[in-house]
Amino acid sequence: MAQAQERELAVVIGLEVHVQLETATKIFCGCSTEGSEEPNTRTCPVCLGLPGALPVLNEGAVEAAVKVGKAINADVPERTRFHRKNYYYPDLPKNFQITQYDAPICQDGELEFTVESQRRTVGIERAHLEEDPGSLQHKGGSIDTAEYTLVDYNRAGTPLLEIVTEPDFRAADEVRAFLAKLEEVLEYLGVFDPERDGSLRIDANLSVVEAGEVGDDGHIDDDILESANRTEVKNISSHKGAEKALAYEAQRQKNAIQRGRAVEQETRHWDESRGITVSMRSKEEEKDYRYFREADLPPLEVADWKERIDIPELPDARRERFREEYDLSDEAADKLTSTKQVADFFEDVASEFDANLAATWVADNLLGELNYRDMAITDVDHRLDEIKRLVELVATDEITAKNARETVLRDMLDDGTDPDTIAEEEGLGKTDEGAVQQAVEDAIEENPDAVEDYHAGEGGAINFLVGQVMQKTGGSADPGDVNQLLREELE
Amino acid sequence: MSDSVVDPDEVGHVADLARVDLSEEEREQFAEQFADILSYFETLEEVPDIEREPELTNVMRPDERRESLSQDEALRNAPETEDGYFKGPKVS
């Protein structure tokens, strides 16, 4: 043991996820939260921090926070309030950020997700409301070498919910799966727009401990966690980025420990383009923020809102219902509830056509072809009616499933044409019986050798003839029908 | 006031956090002044409690947009601007 060079090490990760809540206006004033090309056009005395301006809390932001609390099974305490966090940086016009400190709006929640087919539950310590700072541009160089700074306060005051997890993650891929699930839930709740730039930003705390300290259930004693030096990794803005950044940082710390060096307790910056984390100059300590009560905002008593506010059916519940109501496989139910939009579209199609057909079309054909093109349903959300029309063409036997899938759907996605036009241009309308009959007769006449083989009992001959007929009808005939017709004709 | 906790080092630390440059002399001077100010607050603590009005709770506004300032108005007090942005010294 004393001589062991390679120590078994385990990784411990906790997250702080900043989510921009989707409201019409900022958290403490009536300025729009919509992005703008023009800087400093969405500001007022409140979000510019002008003297004498008073913040008034946006009810919509509180509602959104309560919805999230409900979805993650958190407590909304009887009384919650705001604090000022003091730090001097030009992204904060007031030189303090209004946030929550000792009484956050959500406490003690949890989120269940699947990683590598295993169900995992991660504790949510708290979620609190705060205001987003403005955005800075460092001109004439990097943050260290810049000549000057340009400031845009359009974003300042956008409502943020900071969701703080317990240090329950044991690997970077768990973080990625958790974030995907969190985003899915937030989207279902309608409180979050994943398309908005910077709508999800992540800081992560990571430390490395002896593997022996991790219990079978993943539990690690608090004093072990306290004694391990951890780094805070900032500037992560996506699931993929989180997985990469934390895999890198875990390896960096393990390498240091294996070489007998101590891990420094510090803040590190994830440099996405270089794929590494770099040390940041040390920031203020917790006490330097000099938190104190925000006297301009009276306390909130919204515990009863949890009863009052309804939230929609969440992904897990919907998945379960899909499995039962539509008799779907686990895999199909998973795919069909991957986003709210996919699930809504499936239910829309299933309400008009056969549920199995709807499931095949949405889960396999549509999502498959979109995925192949690196697209998502959001890229075709204005064309869902056309896709439904395509399913209708199949359901009413106007074109074959194969043609619909391999020609029409692909052309629709590649060229942006509507299904009826493609079906007509490609001549995909199902061939009428007379034409099939003609093709059958022609095939028999043109291939006497195959006919002879058929009569001699050679099994492959019929398949050859079916192929000939299919070719003549441009693939629009039903192979089963053709087989039947050929046999009748050859008797 | 002899047991005041404010010393020149603490003044210096808070000044650093606020990005304010203070000379050694100023630190000494402000430490004394802070001590005085804090003693005034101690005097206030001796004021007897009075009946307060009940505290407000749940003061909120509906999520409805109001007109923002124009860019010109927003930037009017700024000493320096560029292309519609506030302009300031480099930060890190």
The contacts of residue A381 (CB under 8 Å, 6+ apart) are A341
Contacting residues of B for A44, CB less than 8 Å apart: 66, 68-69
For the cut 70, the answer to whether the pLDDT of residue B4 exceeds it is no
> What average pLDDT does chain A have?
90
Nearest to A40 among B13, B84, B90 (CB): B84
Evaluate whether A146 touches B90 at the Cβ level (below 8 Å): yes
CA-based nearest residue to A297, from B59, B55, B61: B59
Residue type, A1: M
Contacting residues of A for B55, CB less than 8 Å apart: 298-299
CB within 8 Å: B61 and A88: no
As a whole number, mean pLDDT of residues A123-137 equals 97
For the cut 90, the answer to whether the pLDDT of residue A7 exceeds it is no
pLDDT at B82: 97
The residue of B16, B59, B63, B81 whose CB has the most chain A CBs within 10 angstroms, and thus the best one to mutate to test that interface, is: B63
Report the alpha-carbon distance of residue B21 to residue A302 in Å, rounded: 44
CATH topology classification for A433-490: Arc Repressor Mutant, subunit A (1.10.10)
CA-based nearest residue to A43, from A119, A156, A144: A156
Q: Where are the domains of chain B?
A: 8-45
A56-83: per-residue pLDDT in tens? 999 999 999 999 999 999 999 999 999 9
Structure confidence at residue A214 as a pLDDT band (50, 70, 90) = confident
CB within 8 Å: A284 and B66: no
Q: Where are the extended beta strands (E) located within A69-131?
A: 83-86, 96-99, 106-115, 118-131
Contacting residues of A for B92, CB less than 8 Å apart: 143-144, 146, 281
Evaluate whether A441 touches A490 at the Cβ level (below 8 Å): no
Interface contacts A/B by beta carbons within 8 Å: 125
Q: Give me the torsion for CA of A155, A130, A297, A310, rounded to 10°.
A: 100
The residue of A27, A149, A294 whose CB has the most chain B CBs within 10 angstroms, and thus the best one to mutate to test that interface, is: A149
Structure confidence at residue A247 as a pLDDT band (50, 70, 90) = very high
CA-based nearest residue to A258, from A250, A269, A266: A250
B12-46: per-residue pLDDT in tens? 998 988 889 999 999 999 999 988 898 888 888 88
Chain B closest CA to A149's CA: distance in Å?
Answer: 5
Report the alpha-carbon distance of residue A156 to residue A93 in Å, rounded: 8
pLDDT at A24: 97
Structure confidence at residue B60 as a pLDDT band (50, 70, 90) = very high
Chain A closest CA to B80's CA: distance in Å?
Answer: 10
Residue type, A241: G
Chain B closest CA to A367's CA: distance in Å?
Answer: 36
pLDDT at A284: 67
DSSP state of A383: G
Residue bearing the bigger pLDDT, A1 or A429: A429
CB within 8 Å: A151 and B90: no
Nearest to B64 among A24, A38, A45 (CB): A24
Query: What ipTM, to 2 d.p.?
Result: 0.88
The residue of A150, A283, A289, A309 whose CB has the most chain B CBs within 10 angstroms, and thus the best one to mutate to test that interface, is: A150
CA-based nearest residue to A25, from A126, A131, A110: A131
Structure confidence at residue A5 as a pLDDT band (50, 70, 90) = low
For the cut 50, the answer to whether the pLDDT of residue B2 exceeds it is no
A41-61: per-residue pLDDT in tens? 999 999 999 999 999 999 999
Architecture in CATH of B8-45: Orthogonal Bundle (1.10)
Chain A closest CA to B74's CA: distance in Å?
Answer: 7
pLDDT at A1: 44
- Could you write out the three-class secondary structure of A413-455? HHHCCCHHHHHHHCCCCCCCHHHHHHHHHHHHHHCHHHHHHHH
Tokens linked to A32: 């729009």
Evaluate whether A389 touches A419 at the Cβ level (below 8 Å): yes
Percent of chain A topping pLDDT 70: 97
Q: Give me the torsion for CA of A218, A223, A227, A228, rounded to 10°.
A: 10
CB within 8 Å: A24 and B63: yes
CA-based nearest residue to B81, from A32, A148, A157: A148
Tokens linked to A42: 């969405």
The residue of A26, A29, A40, A279 whose CB has the most chain B CBs within 10 angstroms, and thus the best one to mutate to test that interface, is: A40
For the cut 90, the answer to whether the pLDDT of residue B6 exceeds it is no
The contacts of residue A241 (CB under 8 Å, 6+ apart) are A202, A270, A272
Report the alpha-carbon distance of residue A16 to residue A201 in Å, rounded: 8
CB within 8 Å: A30 and B88: no
Model confidence, pTM: 0.80
DSSP state of A300: B
Please give the backbone phi and psi of residue A441, each rounded to the nearest 5 degrees, phi first: -65, -45
Indicate the pairing of strand A106-115 with strand B81-82. unpaired
> What average pLDDT does chain B have?
89
If DSSP codes are grouped into helix, strand and coil, which group holds residue A370?
Answer: helix
CB within 8 Å: A40 and B85: yes
As a whole number, mean pLDDT of residues A243-266 equals 93
CB within 8 Å: B17 and A87: yes
Structure confidence at residue A387 as a pLDDT band (50, 70, 90) = very high
For the cut 90, the answer to whether the pLDDT of residue A158 exceeds it is yes
Residue bearing the bigger pLDDT, A165 or A437: A165
Indicate the pairing of strand A159-165 with strand A9-20. antiparallel
CB within 8 Å: B74 and A143: no
Indicate the pairing of strand A276-279 with strand A135-139. unpaired
pLDDT at B23: 94
A392-431: per-residue pLDDT in tens? 998 888 888 888 998 899 999 998 888 988 888 877 776 6
Please give the backbone phi and psi of residue A106, each rounded to the nearest 5 degrees, phi first: -130, 140
CA-based nearest residue to A224, from A234, A236, A211: A211
pLDDT at A431: 60
CB within 8 Å: A300 and B58: yes
CATH 1.10.10.410 domain locations along chain A: 433-490
Report the alpha-carbon distance of residue A318 to residue A108 in Å, rounded: 24
Nearest to A88 among B17, B65, B92 (CB): B17
Contacting residues of B for A29, CB less than 8 Å apart: 66
Radius of gyration of chain B (CA): 22
For the cut 90, the answer to whether the pLDDT of residue A151 exceeds it is yes
Evaluate whether B22 touches B9 at the Cβ level (below 8 Å): no
For the cut 50, the answer to whether the pLDDT of residue A153 exceeds it is yes
